[in-house]
Amino acid sequence: MYFAVIGTHVRGKSASPAMHNASFKALGVNAVYIAVDVPREELPCFLKLARLNLRGFNVTIPHKEEVVKHLDGVAADARAIGAVNTVLVERNLLVGYNTDASAVYQLAGSHMRGADVLIVGAGGAARAALFAAIKAEARAVYIANRTYERAEALAREFAEKFKREVKAVRSPVKADVVVNATPVYDAMVADLSGASLYVDFAYIPTPRTKMVEEAQRLGIKVVDGVDLLVEQGAQAEKIWLGVEPDRTVMKRAVLEFLGI
């Protein structure tokens, strides 16, 4: 069986191949996982090949939203989110899921319940975090993005869809839970004072992003990019293989890949 992660600039940079190949070995599964660089214009072509050659694949920047248009089926939560990061290939049909959202909910949902949540970003990862916050019954959710219009459109879409309070803000506000749903790792993207939890999707080139270091300095609980990568990856393997993988094995492989 063959699996992959697709995106731009993922070959040699994504830790997913190391993580999943270590997990497959521990599970005794005869499978190989690779990273494939797929430019935007080549996504339809890749998907035609995937139908015949892969058992499943992960989707990362910039394809999480665009890929939805090309799938044969999409799980209800992924369709509501408007983004897919995990695809199962079954009888040559492509079925999409969103394990990013379930990973955020699993690791941060208890902190989001009844809390003010700030999400930085407006792409596929932000959509997953936003869905998790709404599912966790956050008191209010704020979206900040470099392009305010994108934040505003996303806030309006989810507020109308779920009948919950979601607001776009022109600059990050203070919140109980702060989520960085962007690849930014070397800059401060929000004020963490007063927060109880910080969640970071970024793990390349290091999970010790500038924001993670600030959260640790302030004594704030952290769910870093490695934590999220492992949890979404474990849930992806459950979809592909119907097994519960060893997250310790997966995390160890990611840390070794990152040289930590």
Summary mean pLDDT of the chain: 97
Please tell me which residue in 25, 64, 174, 210 is annotated as part of the active site.
64
Ranges in the chain annotated CATH 3.40.50.10860:
2-97+227-257
- The confidence band for 191, taking pLDDT boundaries of 50, 70 and 90, is very high
Q: Is 60 annotated as a binding residue?
A: yes
Q: Is 125 annotated as a binding residue?
A: yes
Q: Is 100 annotated as a binding residue?
A: yes
Other CB atoms within a 10 A radius of the CB of residue 158 amount to 23
Q: What is the pLDDT of residue 39?
A: 96
Rounded average pLDDT over 204-231: 97
Q: Is 146 annotated as a binding residue?
A: yes
Q: Is 64 part of the annotated catalytic residue set?
A: yes
Q: Which residues of 108-130 are buried (b: 16+ CB within 10 A; e: fewer)?
A: bbebbeebbbbbbbbbbbbbbbb
Ranges in the chain annotated CATH 3.40.50.720:
101-223
| Residue 189 near residue 240, CB atoms below 8 Å | no
Residues 160, 99, 107, 105: what is their CA dihedral angle, to the nearest 10 degrees?
20
CA atoms within 13 A on the CB side of 54: 25
- The confidence band for 209, taking pLDDT boundaries of 50, 70 and 90, is very high
Q: Is 122 annotated as a binding residue?
A: yes
State the pairing for strand pair 93-97/86-90.
Answer: antiparallel
The token pair that represents 182 in the structure block: 């962007």
pLDDT tens across 70-112, in order?
A: 999 999 999 999 999 999 999 999 999 999 999 999 999 999 9
pLDDT tens across 28-61, in order?
A: 999 999 999 999 999 999 999 999 999 999 999 9
What CATH class does 101-223 carry? alpha beta
Contacts of 178 (CB under 8 A, 6+ apart): 117, 118, 120, 172, 190, 192, 195, 197, 198, 199
Euclidean distance between CA atoms 59 and 10, whole angstroms: 10
Q: Which residue has the tokens 């990568």?
A: 229
Q: At the fourth CATH level, which superfamily is domain 2-97+227-257? A: Leucine Dehydrogenase, chain A, domain 1 (3.40.50.10860)
Q: Is 31 annotated as a binding residue?
A: no
Cα 230 to chain centroid, rounded:
10
Q: Is 148 annotated as a binding residue?
A: yes
